[in-house]
Structure 1
Amino acid sequence: MTDVKQTVYHNIHIELGAKMAEFAGYSMPMQYEGSKAEHMAVREAAGLFDVSHMGEIEFRGPGAQESIDYMVSNDVISLAPGHALYTPIVNHQGGIVDDCIVYKRSATDILVVVNASNAAKDFAWFKKHSPSVVPVDISDDIALLALQGPQAEAILAKASKAQNLCDIPGFGLGTVTLLDHEVMVARTGYTGEDGFEIFLPSHLGPAGWKLLMEVGRDLGLKPAGLGARDTLRLEARLWLYGNDIDDTTTPLEAGMAFAVKLDAGDFIGKEILVKQKQEKVTRRLIGFRVTGKGIPRHGHTVHTINGDGTPGDAVGHVTSGTKVPFINETVGMAYIPRTMSTAGNEILINVRDKMVSAVIVKGPFYKRS
């Protein structure tokens, strides 16, 4: 355990009695009161997450937007300053190095936030493949918080005295004053709810956490751990790197066509993805809702159903699955052949040698109104 890192919020988590565990090399809070209660708080009021283990990489100077644009499949050049976008980072075989959020402060000032488990790998990839601008890893300088839920705007407004948060659109950037410092915020998150990610300088992190919790308590704000973060993202049908996507899956197979701009500029892996689009993918990541009894997990096999109702061949595998609290259903995602991926089709999933029935569904399992 001596090699496990601690975030600047570690002492706060301990004081709150959080259940801690190692994740991506960090000691992180899995839950405080309980993952279900924290999940429901985010859906109904607000939750505050320590996400300071995430990686932050800057591209600055002439050629900044062109450099990152070449290494991701989405269109950074056309993105207006003051906005962010979701994008895969693609390798030369069309596989996904990571998925990330690109924050475009200006054409010459780009911030990329990457997954904690891939931060070192991504930084090395960017350094190797950036056409001109040398990336800078500023992860240790940022104590990122995610304030998520329908009350997030009201809580951040109370903490910052900001009057114009409603003017920040989804995936928009802004600046607020917290603890007498100008702090970048973005209307982004990983929960399927409205919310903000708050880019506090590391030395202000603990004070920022305490301020937000103090002003948000009456609005139902609760600290939330990585357990709730995972069930929230699955309920919203968002991808988890290492489960649903990796360097052997392409964005088109994973249902990320919206983030693959084949009609824009050149990028690493584009030729492979153009060919894959022309020839059509052979497999597709689908969402499913369990109609039987059992909870499919990562790696469980997906089977066809014979005409007599017995299990057929194994045709795919589950990538994520669990019972999610707000919609109170067991859901998941799986890779299966494209020809079988139509919504409404029934499948069987082998859960510990028991076949569990499920139906393929389209779109997110939960979408906020």
Structure 2
Amino acid sequence: MTWDSEESNALRPTAPLKGRGAASYVTGRFATTAAVGVDDGWASVYEDPPGRPQTTVTEERARTIISRNDSPDIGFSQSVNPYKGCEHGCVYCFARPSHAYLDLSPGLDFETKIFAKPNAAELLRAELSKRSYQCSPIALGINTDAYQPTERRYGISRACLELLAETKHPVSVVTKSALVERDLDIYQEMAKEGLVSVHFSVTTLDNHLSAKMEPRAAAPHARLRAMKALSSAGVPVGVLVAPVIPMINDHELEQILQAAREQGAQSAGFVLLRLPHELTQIWREWLELHYPDRANHVMSLIQQMRGGKDYDSRFGARMRGEGPFAQLLQIRFEKAHRNLGYGRMPSLDCTRFVAPRLIGSQGELF
């Protein structure tokens, strides 16, 4: 890592960190104080640049586990997130700003300071056992990936999945990880009863670009291989080209859709790059470090699709954008979707749900 000084004397990164998506500790919007490196005239600040940050995982006892939303452009009403933060380090991740609520940086902290919820399955059992609970599909790991690397150690996502299988509760998953294959035994049985669907997020087929944008996610070919394994086992799988970024990966849209279709994907979708809150600074830093020759052009196209701003948070517009370039993307997607014979995922069955018994409750005595 090397650092340079702007006119304000505040330091900014001038080279990426190997194995990391973000390049700096971007200050969260709720921070009351911010540490800024400045040149004191003796160049001492340059002699000790930040070292390569190591990943730490902190266990926390969560108080609730089901998150609910009524957003009209999201296809689920409730989700379960076994982890906060994500080791995959995807520079474009829309969930990065959530780390600001922890008084941590949405930049490097988001991908190096992970919080695991070992009691997730216990809380989920309690939620599902309530008489007032109304069954609707649960999205597993929708904010941060349920199958990020630390899942190999903790197995929290599998514990939640085992409970959902036990109670015949429908679940959907979106992942960038090949680790999802580990749970094929559960997915295969749930698929027989119409209880599961798995979407793979595939951003690029270029290993070099993937290593820059999503450094610790599974390589593109590994995701496609996992997609094939699940599809061959009878598990409904789909592909999300997310995000689509002008002048970075938009030219791959049709190729990704074709590659996924060949591996058994039944449905497909795409999402335009979203830059809420601190993410716009993280993204702009990444662009300047990796593609300085086209950074201004990329941001110009993004702003053309966002009403002149880096981001438009309006429902509907936030996923697809507006304007000629956004319309062209939509036309290209629809044409490829049609020509490749994509359809829709089968509906998940909510009628089979059987509420679980609370372990150790007095109800077990009767």
TM-score (norm 2): 0.25
The structure that is helix-richer by fraction is: 2
TM-score (norm 1): 0.24
